[in-house]
Amino acid sequence: MSDLGLIIVSYNVSDLLGECLRSVFASGGVTAHVAVVDNASEDGSATMVKQRFPQATVIESPTNGGYAYANNLGLRLLQELPDPPHYVLLLNPDTVVPADGLRRMLDYMEARPDVGVAGPKLVLRDGSLDLACRRSFPSPYVSFCRIAGLSKLFPRSRLFGRYNLTYLDPDREAEVDSVVGAFMMVKWKAFQDAGLLDESFFLYGEDLDWAYRMKEHGWRVMYNPALKVLHHKGESSRRNSKRATSEFYRAMLIFYHKHYARNTFPLLGAAIVLGIHLRSALARASSLLRPASIKGG
């Protein structure tokens, strides 16, 4: 039985995928079943993996069905193994894992039986924190603070800075609502409880929804900054920034309707939905002027 079932979904980032896989296979002390799901890339990514990393399983999707769709292909593969792994790791191809990173995160979760999900401190190329690596669920209030710009105006406020938990010390362990799918380690039992990712999400929100469902089953979600992972963020989505922008706000709407709409006062709900649509329109207009600015996550 493998310690870890590791799934990497890749779309037209062959060079970064190669760097990521080198770091994964150099990470010692772990028995891992590595599955690379190629989401209909056009840059030879699948061929590169087969030639340079024959120890990985390559799943070639005939269509780009989105992030949740592709990860589910990998999850179903793991479910079919005679002895499924103890843990699942969703890992982006634009990450670089430290030499002992996988073992350290496994040890962290092994020591905490009630933790179903954990993620590391993700840092960008300039050394700054990837704010998406620890998040609150986009409740009506949290969504309002995001849409109204209050979370950016008052990032250190516990009242307004909940979207990315920007008031927390980035070097302190914390229980959070969700970590990001760029590096999301999940206990196999927590995955069994929650089931597969929701494929109605295309690019964003599926990790939040997955964590939400695991927390409904009593699992804790932890941010573990003792492990630091490099994230070359948003390379795939940057190449189709208009689609990425639309999917970000579409994911907010899906999450709201799925988890909050039925318990939200109708007028407030209508205001939230209208606000999301307005912010989406503004962001799309901005992306037309600055098409390389959308980084995703």
Amino acid at 128: S
- pLDDT band of 290, cuts 50, 70, 90: low
Q: Which CATH architecture has domain 4-135+176-235?
A: Alpha-Beta Complex (3.90)
Q: pLDDT by residue (tens digit) across 153-175?
A: 999 999 999 999 999 999 999 99
Whose tokens are 């007028």? That residue is: 267
- pLDDT band of 70, cuts 50, 70, 90: very high
Average pLDDT, the chain: 92
Mean pLDDT of 193-201: 98
Contact 138, 208 (CB under 8 A): yes
Strand segments, DSSP code E, in 110-218 are 115-123, 174-175, 183-187
Mean pLDDT of 57-75: 97
State pTM to two decimals.
Answer: 0.92
Q: Helix (H, G, I), strand (E, B), or coil: what is residue 181?
A: coil
**pLDDT on residue 294:** 32
Q: Helices (DSSP H) in 99-238: which residue ranges?
A: 101-110, 140-147, 150-153, 188-194, 206-216, 235-238
Q: pLDDT by residue (tens digit) across 209-247?
A: 999 999 999 999 999 999 999 999 866 556 557 788 889
Spell out the domain ranges in the chain.
4-135+176-235, 241-289
Q: Could you tell me the end-to-end alpha-carbon distance of the chain, in angstroms, rounded to an integer?
A: 32
